[in-house]
Structure 1
Amino acid sequence: MQTFTNTCDGRAVSSATSFESRNPATGEVLGRVPNSSAEEVARAVAAAKAAQPAWAARPDAERKDLLMQVADVLKANAEYLATWVTREQGKPLGGIGPDQVPGSRFELWGCEVWTRVPASLDLPVELAFEDETRRDEVHRRPCGVVAAITPWNWPLLIAIWKIIPSLRVGNTVVLKPSEYTSIGTLEMVRLIAEILPPGVLNTVSGGGEVGGWLVDDPRVDKISFTGSSTTGARIAATAARHLTPTTMELGGNDAAIVLPDADPKAIAMGLFWGAFLNMGQTCACAKRLYVPDALHDAVVAELKALAEAMPMGDGMQPGTVMGPIQNRMQFDKVRRLVDEARAAGATIVCGGTPPGGPGHFYPVTLVTDIRDGASLVDEEQFGPVLPIVRYREVEEAIAAANRLDTGLGASVWGSDVEAARAVATRIQAGTVWINQHGAIHPMVPFGGVKGSGWGLEFGIDGLKAVTRPQVISVKKA
């Protein structure tokens, strides 16, 4: 069985101990992952620190060109890496077109796009003020060493979101992937690091303690984390000791509000994938749906028909649309939340009972006759389950959407776009979509508010997030 390696200072690095990575659809052991020691983490940070001045000093055009070469490598190896995503994370291979299942091939297409776009962007000098006595300019400088910690749901794409903007502006990176989905990420970094100077991009791997050692290293100049609010709070506390700036994309419990003028049939497919993309294992999926009484039964019927028509199975098999939950811990959480809702009197419209057999499969589940305050509504389920809550007045739905301490995304669905926009402006979330949900774009800033984190990724704002501003103030003669 192959034991994979980390990348440090341009070299493949093994560790004294390792752990298994398993296929969530079959239970098959896929390989072994190095369990980085504290000393190996320190060496990775040291390599990044040593490489950073020369990388930042390279002409801007050279860094852009190298990152475009990275995009070429991602494109050339897309099928190989997509296969690893499916085997290790569980999402189907799918495709990349508008009529294709948004699976692992879509993730690798996203990796290429989210490399080419930041690589093409510039951060020009900003003129803050000028008169006859002075000129004040805002320049953007790299932070230094960026520690990036990524989750298991979109393992390669979220890694790219952190790697490429950081490198584009002259930082170096130490990346720690999730212990549940390490192999694909390590292989991606191995391939793209061949294009880059040694030490510019490094990895460490293992459990939470490895991430803890990484963020606690005083040589780290910026921390970028995507994951749970609980882990984010621990990282923020560690960062505070060193006054290390952070960008945190934490958990979401996105509300979707259907307005009374919506057409259930017209919005059903968008709602379905807004909730169940990647089996609901996406931070910005719709996690709770608010529907007016008059449309409730029609919306539920449309969603039920879609849910029951989606084939579930091993993502490597042709025709698979829905895969497994990635790990047992998350599977058990989803099952607990549905069981609690059922015991409290909620109606399980479809799904609700795992099929048994190998793999962490849980059917797409719709739950009605449930209210705010139920654990399935108030906790982020992060799985293929959607609670559907009735409301009478739009004001009730707005208050319900805002009542929790999360605010990553939300959506409003209706025929009158201006009426939907008026509702959207009152939702406390970093992004509010209208007649779509989770529609991110590499040029559009993305981030949360309240307990869903702080800071922005993507586009110009994402580049600025991994820089520090420096004002050059010139006195005129």
Structure 2
Amino acid sequence: MTATDTGASTSATATSAGSEEDLLARVSAPQGQGRQIREPATGAVLGAAPVHSKQDLDAAVAAARAAQPAWAASGHEQRSQVLLRMADRIDALAEPLARLLAREQGKPLNGPNARFEVGACSAWLRATAATTLEPQVVVDDGATRAELTYRPVGVVGAIGPWNWPLMITIWQVAPALRMGNAVVVKPSEYTPLSVLALISILNEELPEGVLSAVSGEGEVGARLASHPDVDKVMFTGSTATGRRIIESSAGNLARLTLELGGNDAGIVLPDADPQAIADGLFWGAFINTGQTCAALKRLYVHDSLYEEVVDALADVARAMPMGASLDETSVLGPLQNKQQFDVVARLVEDAKQRGGRIVTGGQPATELGELFFPVTLIADLKDGDPLVDEEQFGPALPIIRYSEIDDAVASANRLEAGLGASVWSADPAAARAVAERIQAGTVWINSHGGVHPMVPFGGVKGSGYGLEFGVEGLKAVAAPQVISAASPTIAPTA
């Protein structure tokens, strides 16, 4: 299978596919080839992902380069209509796509998980199609009229993660296509099959070559980031890999949007109601079993209500069912891969050795499967403890006591990460005052981690740069151009 096969035009068989097995058949490597992908919840083999080479990537980029001018010339209205039809295609196959995602990524079907993620894909496509980016008149003084406009950058390389593989792919692909670019997608090697299936669905509405996916190891992603014919790179993943992409981009001067690691702090002010905020704190920390860049990863609680918050959060945690991905009662699932499981297990064990108080969880849930780790709340930790300072990216939350708000703000700002943060309070003005002091791309008040297709999202410091979503997201995948016209009645100056 070549790279462009995953972006092939629709066929009668493809459009009639009605189960996750049908979707798998579209994108799997031929029998006996490819790399085995196992289901995190069960360890069973799900399928075999094609392993593309750097030569396959070169072919995909060349096809994108050839197809992009005609796609750009089709105009904003036509491209928006294509995005709307893509959304309809996803909705028509939402259930099999969600089941494939659940089996490959591990997240359950229900709750803010697989069905939610697939629904977000079509919602984001529709929102992107409806977003307008009008020319901006920057000067019109009678002598000069200057307009700022935006043109396609050309070919966009989109490198995605394994935690929200479909949704983040759409976050990258939708605005890039909307602005007239061609896109080459490199999915994570942990979750390639669901992304390849998504790309095959989208390609039922696209001209050949405009969108393709290349499934391979890290060297393929590195080649995409440094490719001389790639004009823009969008990457969601670790800060370490983001730094390597920045270095690679020096050779081709590719524009970058980097959404990197986070270690989001939450600060509970002394006037908060522990019972009222417990659900929001829980889902802020444990959506997708904690495997979310902008999840709440360290919680600072004022002395006066520390134990009340710990108890209220523990009550919520104990009521949340964890189990197999296709079990309709589950809302929490396994860690996606052994490497991430080991990170969580190491940090929890270290926290116990340092005197952390285990409130819930604390040991692998081996009765559920190899990669299951229960929701683990650990109280009485402090800044400097590894579970506080390192991004755990899993279902373990350190809870830290503070007495002075200045100390809590300093703690929130002390780390390299700056993706998101949250402030919890019954007083909106007090919460706003604290939020303005936190060094993060987004600060939520009385919630954590929610995103909206019209609200710009991006990080600061070690969490990357560039914005996604809404008008700013369209600008990020476009090249600004100023058209400046002098009045013909004004004589030019020497």
Relative to the length of structure 2, the TM-score reads 0.93
Are positions 1:47 and 2:63 aligned together? yes
Provide, for residues 217-246 of structure 1, a one-character-per-residue CA deviation record: whole Å limited to 9, x for no partner: 100000000000011111111012221110
SS in 1 for 2:148: strand
Provide, for residues 84-136 of structure 1, a one-character-per-residue CA deviation record: whole Å limited to 9, x for no partner: 11101111101xxxxxx111111011001100001111211110111121111
Structural mapping, 1:104-253, within 5 Å:
104-253=114-263
Cross-structure match for 1:431: 442
Cross-structure match for 1:405: 416
Residue identity in the other structure for 2:224: L
SS in 1 for 2:384: coil
C-alpha distance in structure 2 between counterparts of 1:373 and 1:130, whole Å: 56
C-alpha distance in structure 1 between counterparts of 2:72 and 2:331, whole Å: 44
SS in 2 for 1:112: helix
Contact conserved, 1:9 with 1:48, CA < 8 A, in 2? no
Cross-structure match for 1:24: 40
**C-alpha deviation, 1:310, in angstroms:** 1.1
458, 466, 472: which one aligns with 2:469: 458
SS in 1 for 2:345: helix
Q: 1:476 to 1:464 in 2, by over 3 A?
A: same
Contact conserved, 2:37 with 2:46, CA < 8 A, in 1? yes
Contact conserved, 2:239 with 2:261, CA < 8 A, in 1? yes
Residue identity in the other structure for 1:175: V
SS in 2 for 1:321: coil
Are positions 1:282 and 2:281 aligned together? no
Contact conserved, 1:4 with 1:183, CA < 8 A, in 2? no
| Residue segments in structure 2 that go unaligned for 5+ positions in a row | 11-25, 489-494
C-alpha distance in structure 1 between counterparts of 2:208 and 2:356, whole Å: 56
Report how many residues are paired. 470
Residue identity in the other structure for 1:185: V
107, 110, 119: which one aligns with 1:91: 107
Contact conserved, 2:272 with 2:424, CA < 8 A, in 1? yes
C-alpha distance in structure 2 between counterparts of 1:307 and 1:90, whole Å: 19
Provide, for residues 264-287 of structure 1, a one-character-per-residue CA deviation record: whole Å limited to 9, x for no partner: 000000000000000010111000
Are positions 1:443 and 2:454 aligned together? yes
288, 292, 311: which one aligns with 1:301: 311
C-alpha distance in structure 2 between counterparts of 1:59 and 1:416, whole Å: 48
Q: 1:4 to 1:88 in 2, by over 3 A?
A: farther
C-alpha distance in structure 2 between counterparts of 1:455 and 1:3, whole Å: 32
**C-alpha deviation, 1:8, in angstroms:** 4.2
C-alpha distance in structure 1 between counterparts of 2:72 and 2:62, whole Å: 16
C-alpha distance in structure 1 between counterparts of 2:435 and 2:69, whole Å: 44
Are positions 1:388 and 2:399 aligned together? yes
C-alpha distance in structure 2 between counterparts of 1:320 and 1:9, whole Å: 36
Residue identity in the other structure for 1:276: F
C-alpha distance in structure 1 between counterparts of 2:252 and 2:74, whole Å: 29
C-alpha distance in structure 2 between counterparts of 1:107 and 1:132, whole Å: 51
**C-alpha deviation, 1:359, in angstroms:** 3.4
57, 65, 87: which one aligns with 2:73: 57
**C-alpha deviation, 1:464, in angstroms:** 0.3
Are positions 1:37 and 2:53 aligned together? yes
SS in 2 for 1:194: helix
SS in 1 for 2:162: coil
Contact conserved, 1:5 with 1:186, CA < 8 A, in 2? no
Are positions 1:271 and 2:281 aligned together? yes
Contact conserved, 1:446 with 1:457, CA < 8 A, in 2? yes
Residue identity in the other structure for 1:418: A
Contact conserved, 1:289 with 1:388, CA < 8 A, in 2? yes
**C-alpha deviation, 1:345, in angstroms:** 1.4
Q: 1:3 to 1:166 in 2, by over 3 A?
A: closer
C-alpha distance in structure 2 between counterparts of 1:343 and 1:391, whole Å: 22
SS in 2 for 1:369: strand
C-alpha distance in structure 2 between counterparts of 1:6 and 1:396, whole Å: 55
SS in 1 for 2:381: coil
Provide, for residues 153-194 of structure 1, a one-character-per-residue CA deviation record: whole Å limited to 9, x for no partner: 001000000001000010000000111111111011111101
C-alpha distance in structure 2 between counterparts of 1:49 and 1:304, whole Å: 53
Structural mapping, 1:308-387, within 5 Å:
308-357=318-367, 358-387=369-398
**C-alpha deviation, 1:70, in angstroms:** 0.4
Relative to the length of structure 1, the TM-score reads 0.96
SS in 2 for 1:290: strand
SS in 1 for 2:205: coil
Q: 1:200 to 1:400 in 2, by over 3 A?
A: same
**C-alpha deviation, 1:314, in angstroms:** 0.4
**C-alpha deviation, 1:383, in angstroms:** 0.1
Provide, for residues 346-404 of structure 1, a one-character-per-residue CA deviation record: whole Å limited to 9, x for no partner: 11111010022533100000011110001000000000000000000111100000000
C-alpha distance in structure 1 between counterparts of 2:354 and 2:463, whole Å: 28
Cross-structure match for 1:7: 6
C-alpha distance in structure 2 between counterparts of 1:256 and 1:59, whole Å: 44
C-alpha distance in structure 1 between counterparts of 2:164 and 2:52, whole Å: 22
Contact conserved, 1:3 with 1:31, CA < 8 A, in 2? no
C-alpha distance in structure 1 between counterparts of 2:202 and 2:7, whole Å: 13
Contact conserved, 2:3 with 2:60, CA < 8 A, in 1? no
Residue identity in the other structure for 2:342: D
C-alpha distance in structure 2 between counterparts of 1:154 and 1:3, whole Å: 25
86, 89, 94: which one aligns with 1:78: 94
Provide, for residues 416-475 of structure 1, a one-character-per-residue CA deviation record: whole Å limited to 9, x for no partner: 011000000000000000000011100000000000000000000000000010000101
C-alpha distance in structure 1 between counterparts of 2:335 and 2:115, whole Å: 18
**C-alpha deviation, 1:59, in angstroms:** 2.5
C-alpha distance in structure 1 between counterparts of 2:402 and 2:251, whole Å: 45
